[in-house]
Amino acid sequence: MAEGWCAAAVAGRLLSELGARVIKVEPPEGDRLRRQPPNVADGTSPTFQNLNANKESIVLDADNKVLLELISKADILLTDQTTLDDREITLNDDELEGLNPRLVACHFSPFGRSGALAGQPGGELIAQAMGGVIATTGHPGELPHRAGPPLASHNAALLGGAAILSALYDRENSGQGSIIDMSLYDASVSLLYTFLPAYFLSGNTPGPMGNKHMMVAPWDNYPTKDGWAIVCIANDRQWQDFLRLMGRAELIEDSRFAENDQRVLEDIRPLVDGLVVEFLSDKTTDEAIRLLRDHNVPAGPIYDVPTLIKDPQFLDREMVHTFGDAIAGGSLTAGSIFKMSETPGRVHSPAPLLNQHADIELEPPS
C-alpha cells in the first residue's frame, strides 16, 4: 500500500530483489507515478517502470475486501502513511493481528506512530527538512538545499527492510508477527552522527559547509585547469603523501598543520586548501586525479547521471538494467545493490500493467 516514490514502495522493490513476491495494491486510476512526467504513455511512465519492476499489480476495490484478503494471506505488509491517508484507510493493530497474527507489518511514516508529531503529513522534502538534512546541505551563507536524490526515503527503506527481515526471522522462533513503526524522522536523524556531537560538545549549530567536511581537512571540490576534482585527505599519512607528491615535503614537519585536528581549525583550513588549489592549478582534472590516486590520496571526478549510467564500474556491477522495447519509452531501472554469493539480488520482470494480476490466487501464509 504505497503510491509514488516513497520508502514503502522502495522497500517493496528491495524485498522483491531478494526473492519476495511483492503485490502492489493500486487505486482504480493507478499509482500516481504512472502519470508522472516525463514520457507518460499507455498507462505508465518510465519512473513507474523503474521503481516497480519485479512487482505484481492488483486494484483496490471499493470496500477494501481485496486488501484485507491479501493481508490475511501475506507474510509482510508495507504501508505508506500518505497513501493510507489519501485513501482514508485505517488499519489498526488489533485488526491486523486479528486478520493474521503471523503478519509482519511495516508502517512507514514521516514521524512515526507515537509522540507529539505522530500522524503529521509529509514526504521526502519534509523528512529532510525536519531530519536536519536540508539544514546541513548547501553552501555557507546561502539558502540550504535538499539532498537532490531521495535520501530519507531510501535510507528508511533499507532500515525498514532490516527490521522486517529480522522480525520475519524471529517469527520462525516465536510464531508471532510484528508491527513495525519506521519513521523517516528517526531514519534521517540517524544520519546526523557527525553534526550532533559537534552541537552537543560546543553548543554551536553546525550549518551547511558546501563540500567541506566538518571534521577533516583539506576536503572539498577544488578547481583544476579544466574543471573540478574532489580531494579528500582523510588522515595525516595522506597529508604527508600529498605534500611529497607536491614536492613540498619540508611542510610535513610544519607545526601549524601537521595534524588533522589543526587542519580543521578556522584559520588553518584556508592554508591547507590553498596548497591543494596550488597543486591543481596547472593540471587537468584527469591528470590530477591520476596523480593523486597513484600516491594514495583519495580523489575523484564529479559525474552527472548520464555519465554514471555509462560508467564502467557501475555497469560492471550490473547496476543498470534495461527492459526491452515492449514498455513505453523503453526503461531503465537500477540493478540490485545486494551483491551476495549465494542469494544475489535479482531484477527479473518489468513493472506490471495496472491490475495485471487481478486473478491472483494466494496460498495461506507459511
Question: Please, which of residues 52-81 interact with another protein by CB under 8 A?
Answer: none
Using the minimum distance from each CB to another protein, give the nearer residue, 281 or 343: 343
User: Grid cell 510464531 — which residue?
Assistant: 175
Q: Cβ 22 to another protein, closest distance in Å?
A: 14
Q: Does 287 bind another protein (CB under 8 A)?
A: no
Can you say how many angstroms the Cα of residue 242 is from the centroid of all Cα atoms in its chain? Answer: 33
Q: Does 14 bind another protein (CB under 8 A)?
A: yes
Tell me the window of 59-67, 68-76, 256-264, 266-274 that interacts with another protein (CB under 8 A). Answer: 256-264
Strand, helix or coil for residue 78: strand
Q: Does 16 bind another protein (CB under 8 A)?
A: no
Q: Does 123 bind another protein (CB under 8 A)?
A: yes
Q: Which of 89, 228, 258, 287 binds another protein (CB under 8 A)?
A: 228
Q: Does 12 bind another protein (CB under 8 A)?
A: no
Q: Cβ 294 to another protein, closest distance in Å?
A: 11
d(CA 206, CA 170): 40
DSSP string, 234-263: -SHHHHHHHHHHTT-GGGGG-TTTSSHHHH
User: Grid cell 555509462 — which residue?
Assistant: 310
Strand, helix or coil for residue 302: coil
Q: Does 120 bind another protein (CB under 8 A)?
A: yes
Using the minimum distance from each CB to another protein, give the nearer residue, 63 or 142: 142
Question: If phi over 0 gives left and psi between -120 and 50 gives alpha, with beta otherwise, what is residue 302?
Answer: beta
Q: For the chain, how far is it from start to end, CA to CA, in angstroms?
A: 21
d(CA 184, CA 357): 31
**Angle ∠(164,58,45) on CA atoms, nearest 5:** 90
Using the minimum distance from each CB to another protein, give the nearer residue, 36 or 72: 36
Q: Cβ 174 to another protein, closest distance in Å?
A: 7
Tell me the window of 55-63, 69-77, 113-121, 352-360 that interacts with another protein (CB under 8 A). Answer: 113-121
DSSP string, 87-143: TT----HHHHHHH-TT-EEEEEESS-SSSTTTT----HHHHHHHTTTGGGSS-TTS-
Using the minimum distance from each CB to another protein, give the nearer residue, 162 or 358: 162
Q: Cβ 188 to another protein, closest distance in Å?
A: 9
Tell me the window of 69-77, 150-158, 279-287, 353-361 that interacts with another protein (CB under 8 A). Answer: 150-158
Binding mask 183-222 for another protein (x = CB under 8 A): x-xxx-xxxxxxxxxxxxx---xxxxxxx-x-xx--x-x-
> Cα dist. 11→17, 218, 309, 315 in Å?
10, 37, 22, 23
Q: Does 260 bind another protein (CB under 8 A)?
A: yes
Q: Does 86 bind another protein (CB under 8 A)?
A: yes
Tell me the window of 63-71, 168-176, 242-250, 279-287 that interacts with another protein (CB under 8 A). Answer: 168-176
Q: Cβ 107 to another protein, closest distance in Å?
A: 10
Identify the burial level of 34 via C-beta atoms within 10 angstroms of its C-beta, where 0-12 means exposed, 13-18 middle and 19 or more buried: buried
Using the minimum distance from each CB to another protein, give the nearer residue, 173 or 255: 173
